[in-house]
């Protein structure tokens, strides 16, 4: 009994000491933040499991300022200087955290899920040229996207003629899927806008409810494996999902059929031959990265443009498109401003992007951070917190991007594609997809929100990206003379 008593007392003493240490002794003790977050990670985990991490961190920034301790070993930042130091400076040295293990495919890493700098550079070298701006502007790539934009408009206007309105969420995600598979595998790309078999793949990739399962996997990888095994003891014999089979097939048996200019064409012809599973892991990651980001970004943007308060914005955009019929897509400044404001206000990846402080520690925004502290910035907060840089941050105002004053600071805080060596490799492709689609739609149509639209377009967070809550966006397309 006495031994038990001593054990309990020792445990209590240790528990109280840990609390005391985290609150007052830890090197992070001086960083502002709520006591609960300084003492335990559980409160943050609770926010994550309930899909509130982004908003919780944003509220903390509003309360405590641009530097906040969000867990005993984790700090969130919301300044341009922090973005520069964490994500950009000289390769930064801040490597990705284990969170990115979640994004391995077929048990193999890819560029996105690679944690260390050396390994990442090696993977990036294999394919970076395929995503350069000059590359994606080449006629065979550009015209493939234009063609898919035209197919989308034809499909949506057919739906509108038949039913009065169209749920653009579906064709926009199909468009993103068809564009990225065109870039990865042409002529083996999907045609999901028109083909119902390919449409199933879009549905499989976009309509899932996996937030809790993914966080569970992150925090308890072993337990997750065990639970999966128990739930399905024949897991190894399980049929692969459609997207995985499609990618494996295109990277193995059919890879010779893909044209040279595609991503898989490049991987196939490299001298330092890329192992088949790594090539498949890379391509599946690009497919997944390309579908929801661009699809959701376009969906939010077209919904916003269709709202009554955006009538003038739509008119100005249309005027610019019609007045410059032969202009290169990047020479339309108002279009550029509309897309950028869409990505500011509705960033498809608005969440924090976690990185690890190098072993020797760093000083950031005046605070010393010991090695292995987790640090991050999130687009949602960078795009809204500083109201001198972004006045009326909750409103959709493309004109803010056309003003000369404050341009540098706005660009410094623009984080939709992250920044530095690990920023989005698909940025040029995504921007081109978005602009070509807007040109195709707003050059000939006016869009309005369908009166029967009752679905919620609230931003709903997934593991890293966000999407419209109900995944339904009913618009009417009205053809103009
Ligand atoms: C509007 C569309 C898009 C947005 C907003 C977006 C945003 C981002 C962001 C914020 C990151 C950094 C993530 C992190 O560090 O955790 C990222 C990385 C990445 N994105 Fe995108 N993305 C978009 C479209 C695409 C497309 C079309 C592709 C297709 C290839 C793509 C492929 C990737 C890849 C491979 C990475 C990892 C880069 C690396 O680690 O070096 N993204 N993206």
Q: What is the pLDDT of residue 272?
A: 65
In the structure, what pLDDT confidence band is assigned to residue 269 with cuts at 50, 70 and 90? confident
Find out whether the beta carbon of 321 lies less than 6 Å from any atom of ligand 1: no
Q: What is the pLDDT of residue 130?
A: 95
Angstrom distance (rounded) from CA 353 to CA 379: 9
Mapped onto helix, strand or coil, the DSSP state of residue 310 is helix
Mapped onto helix, strand or coil, the DSSP state of residue 452 is coil
Find out whether the beta carbon of 390 lies less than 6 Å from any atom of ligand 1: no
The dihedrals phi and psi of 251, each to the nearest 5 degrees, come to -90, -15
The residue among 471, 477, 467 whose CA lies nearest residue 155 is 477
The residue among 213, 170, 225, 212 whose CA lies nearest residue 192 is 170
Q: Which two tokens stand for residue 352?
A: 């924090």
- For the entire predicted model, the pTM comes to 0.95
Q: Which two tokens stand for residue 316?
A: 């100005």
Q: What is the pLDDT of residue 234?
A: 60
In the structure, what pLDDT confidence band is assigned to residue 90 with cuts at 50, 70 and 90? low
Q: Which domains does the chain have, with CATH numbers?
A: 20-479 (1.10.630.10)
- Give yes or no for residue 247 having a pLDDT over 90: yes
Find out whether the beta carbon of 290 lies less than 6 Å from any atom of ligand 1: yes
Q: Which residue has the higher pLDDT, 83 or 272?
A: 83
The percentage of residues in the chain with a pLDDT greater than 70, rounded to a whole number, is 97
Cis peptide before 69 (omega within 30 of 0): no
* Closest protein CA for atom 31 of ligand 1: 426
Find out whether the beta carbon of 357 lies less than 6 Å from any atom of ligand 1: no
How do residues 202-235 score in pLDDT, each as one tens digit? Answer: 999 999 888 999 999 999 999 988 888 787 766 5
How do residues 385-415 score in pLDDT, each as one tens digit? Answer: 999 999 999 999 999 999 999 999 999 999 9
Mean pLDDT of the chain: 94
The residue among 169, 480, 149, 146 whose CA lies nearest residue 315 is 480
Partnered with residue 96 across adjacent β-strands are 355
Q: Which atom of ligand 1 is nearest to the CA of 431?
A: 1
Angstrom distance (rounded) from CA 197 to CA 191: 9
- The stretch 436-462 carries a mean pLDDT of 97
């Amino acid at each position: 009994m006495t031994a038990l008593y001593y054990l309990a007392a020792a445990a209590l003493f240790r528990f109280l000491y840990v609390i005391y240490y985290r609150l007052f002794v830890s090197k992070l003790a001086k960083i502002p933040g709520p006591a609960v977050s300084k003492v335990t990670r559980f409160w943050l985990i609770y926010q994550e499991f309930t899909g509130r991490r982004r908003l919780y961190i944003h509220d903390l920034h509003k309360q405590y300022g641009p530097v906040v301790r969000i867990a005993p070993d984790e700090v969130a930042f919301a300044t341009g200087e922090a973005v520069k130091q964490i994500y950009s400076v000289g390769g930064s040295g801040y490597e990705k955290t284990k969170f990115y293990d979640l994004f391995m495919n077929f048990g193999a890493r890819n560029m996105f899920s690679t944690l260390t700098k050396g390994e990442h550079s090696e993977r990036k070298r294999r394919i970076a040229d395929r995503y350069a701006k000059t590359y994606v502007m080449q006629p065979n790539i550009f015209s493939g996207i234009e063609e898919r934009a035209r197919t989308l408009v034809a499909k949506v206007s057919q739906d509108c003629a038949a039913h009065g309105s169209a749920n653009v969420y579906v064709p926009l995600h199909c468009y993103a899927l068809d564009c990225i598979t065109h870039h990865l595998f042409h002529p083996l790309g999907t045609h999901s806008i028109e083909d119902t078999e390919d449409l199933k793949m879009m549905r499989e990739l976009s309509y899932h409810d996996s937030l809790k399962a993914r966080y569970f996997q992150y925090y308890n990888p072993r337990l997750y494996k065990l639970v999966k095994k128990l739930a399905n003891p024949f897991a190894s014999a399980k049929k692969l999902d459609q997207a995985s089979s499609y990618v494996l097939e295109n990277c193995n048996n059919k890879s010779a059929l893909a044209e040279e200019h595609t991503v898989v064409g490049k991987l196939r012809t490299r001298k330092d031959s890329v192992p088949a599973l790594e090539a498949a892991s890379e391509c599946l990651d690009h497919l997944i990265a390309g579908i929801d980001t661009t699809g959701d970004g376009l969906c939010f943007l077209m919904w916003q443009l269709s709202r009554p308060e955006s009538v003038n914005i739509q008119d100005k955009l249309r005027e610019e498109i019609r007045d410059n019929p032969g202009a290169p897509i990047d020479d339309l400044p108002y279009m550029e401003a509309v897309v950028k404001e869409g990505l500011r206000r509705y960033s498809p990846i608005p969440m924090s992007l976690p990185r690890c402080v190098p072993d020797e520690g760093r000083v950031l925004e005046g605070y010393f951070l010991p090695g292995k502290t987790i640090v991050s910035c999130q687009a949602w907060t960078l795009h809204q917190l500083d109201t001198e840089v972004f006045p009326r941050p909750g409103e959709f105002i493309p004109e803010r991007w056309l003003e000369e004053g404050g341009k540098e600071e706005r660009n410094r805080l623009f984080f939709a594609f992250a920044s530095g060596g690990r920023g989005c490799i698909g940025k040029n492709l995504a921007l081109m997809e978005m602009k070509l689609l807007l040109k195709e739609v707003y050059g000939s149509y006016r869009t309005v929100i369908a009166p029967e639209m009752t679905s919620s377009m609230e931003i709903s967070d997934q593991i890293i990206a966000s999407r419209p809550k109900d995944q339904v966006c009913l618009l009417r397309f009205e053809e103009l003379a």
